[in-house]
Amino acid sequence: MSVQSGPRNQIKKPARQQCRRAFGVLTTMSAGVPRSRSRDRQKKPVKNAQICRFAAVIPSPGMFRAEPCCYSLPFPQETPAIVGPAGARPPFRNDIDSVSGPPMQRFNLGTTDLAVSSAVLGLMRIADLSDAAIRQLFSKAQDVGINVFDHADIYGGEAHECERRFGAALRLTASERGSIVIQSKCGIRPGFFDFSEDHILQAVDRSLAALKTDYLDLLLLHRPDTLVEPEEVARAFDRLHAAGKVRHFGVSNHTPRQIDLLKTAVDQPLVANQIQLSIAHAPSVAFGLAANMAGLEQSIDRDGEVIAYSRINRMTLQAWSPFQQGFFGGVFVGDEKNFPELNRVLIELSSKYGLSPSAIAYAWIARHPAKIQVVLGTTSAERLGDIAPGADITLSREDWYHLFRAAGHVLP
């Protein structure tokens, strides 16, 4: 139950190196094998041309300013997508709805009957793991009660690379596939966002091929495309659903008004929204606690009150980067230089609740009555086991607010 080992090591890494790891791009310095846990990982060719520049991107204002970034990685050319005839009956399995799993709490995804775990395993960082390490991580996830696995077409340096690694390493049987929830995202392309019908259909076909599965349980539109035509999204979603390729739909990083715009044409229920949220990056929570406080930075609404909207509309929120400060700025757990008070309180509560500081940081998100899923990005089975118990404790109100203030947020 110590914070020392992982977090400190992690935050000492320069942001650029973290960013490379995040997207599975190896550095020339690593000579094809990352320094950490290299024994678990496969040798892969160095991809000099694919250096991620996210480290140079300032989250706000203008998160995606005109810097080259990971989104400029090569994607395949579009070709017409192949989908089944409209009206075909989706061949979805229902095993997941009745699975009695390990103790981690589960609840329904949005308005669906899909029983999902509090934690989601995010697969954004698995590109350079060996098959054995991916299997170990997957198996540990199942042991601790996780049944949801999060992908995106852009994860892994090359399009669909993390999906491909996952599919190749696991080669799930039909019954294994039926007992888990696989979600993926599309809509981010090199240098632009694309919610066109053709691109959505194409991206899903490629995700299914890479994952070696017939269907996604959940498809999320990754980042809002301001050129979106809701009617095109509606057609794509209807075709994917009718063909049995996607079971449920949602969004990621969307504001309430952007969701309402989609809903002007999209009939498929939008059941989830994945947003960045951690105790150290909590504008979505902090704003509502300081509304209308003139002159207070925290009182600026940055997302149109997405948490209240999600509760009102029964959309499940999923918190990405639950341990990162800023935009892939390093892990705050154990970062006593930048978060001394937060770490002091995390340690204090870790001994009170008998869990690791990381599990307490998890519990801070999970305690919210919005029933927010937490998307864990660790590639370490051991760390996963350390964090997961955070799903099953309920922090007292006093402790929750204590952590909130310790992270630097204000209670007026």
Ligand X SMILES: NC(=O)c1ccc[n+]([C@@H]2O[C@H](COP(=O)([O-])OP(=O)(O)OC[C@H]3O[C@@H](n4cnc5c(N)ncnc54)[C@H](OP(=O)(O)O)[C@@H]3O)[C@@H](O)[C@H]2O)c1
Catalytic residues: 155
Task: Give residue 239's identity as a one-letter amino acid code.
Answer: R
What CA–CA distance (Å, rounded) separates 332 from 322? Answer: 10
Give the span between the Cα atoms of 386 and 19, in whole angstroms: 23
For ligand X, the nearest residue by Cβ is 377
Task: Give the integer Cα–Cα distance in Å for 121 and 279.
Answer: 19
| Residue whose CB is less far from ligand X, 2 or 79 | 2
Tell me the C-alpha distance between 344 and 337, whole Å.
Answer: 11
Applying CB under 6 A, among 379, 388, 390, 407 the residue interacting with ligand X is: 379
CB-nearer residue toward ligand X: 124 or 349: 124
d(CA 181, CA 162): 16
331 near ligand X, rule: CB under 6 A: yes
Q: Closer to ligand X by CB, 83 or 228: give it.
A: 228
Burial of 43 (0-12, 13-18, 19+ CB in 10 A): exposed
Say how far apart CA 15 and CA 10 lie, in whole Å.
10
Please list every residue from 63 through 122 that binds ligand X, using CB under 6 A.
122
**Rule CB under 6 A: is residue 321 a binding residue for ligand X?**
yes
Count residues binding ligand X (CB under 6 A).
Answer: 29
Nearer to ligand X, 125 or 164 (CB): 125
Pick the closer one to ligand X by CB: 142 or 379.
Answer: 379
- Residue 375 as a binder of ligand X (CB under 6 A): the answer is yes
Stretch that binds ligand X, among 94-102, 104-112, 321-329, 390-398 (CB under 6 A): 321-329
Residue in the structure block whose two tokens are 């020392």: 4
Q: Name which of 121, 224, 212 is nearest 174 in CA terms.
A: 212
Of 3-11, 170-178, 227-235, 342-350: span binding ligand X (CB under 6 A): 3-11
Contact flag: residue 252 with ligand X (CB under 6 A): yes
Q: How far is CA 33 from CA 30, 122, 272, in A?
A: 5, 22, 36
Which positions lie near ligand X, rule CB under 6 A? 6-7, 10, 21, 122-125, 150, 222, 252-253, 274, 320-324, 331, 333, 358, 375-380, 383, 387
